[in-house]
Structure 1
């Protein structure tokens, strides 16, 4: 059974060491390969660094978003008033 990649592009999905994960440049057999996170290959240290910087920016953005949500939740909790319900008896 062919992979989804093969159905769309007409060939088997390339091995991750065949092309740069960022610019898609072909990685030759006698060229240096720069690895990142064990499963991403790059043609140069510059491509690798660009990917690292991109991943760090995304991670920082996620942390800021999570912190902002926690702060809003905390502020909303402070604004809530406790309302007691019960039965009022009038004589």
Structure 2
């Protein structure tokens, strides 16, 4: 009983199909790692990496100048208006 599975040509086709699936899976896994890296980097930048905000010992005009030339978020927070 020969069902065609013993044919070397058929076996080569099956191996090529398996190899193609393995390459496709490998590429998808690499894309998943890249996406996970991007998400982790965005999280780190947003929640872990901090920029000092209230660091001034100045007052008066010097304080206003520092606000204007410094951290954008601090300007909005302290004066409740955009630059």
Q: TM-score, normalised by structure 2?
A: 0.49
Pick the structure with more helix per residue. 2
Normalized per residue, the structure richer in strand is 1
* Larger RCO, structure (CA 8 Å, separation 6 or more): 1
TM value normalised by structure 1: 0.46
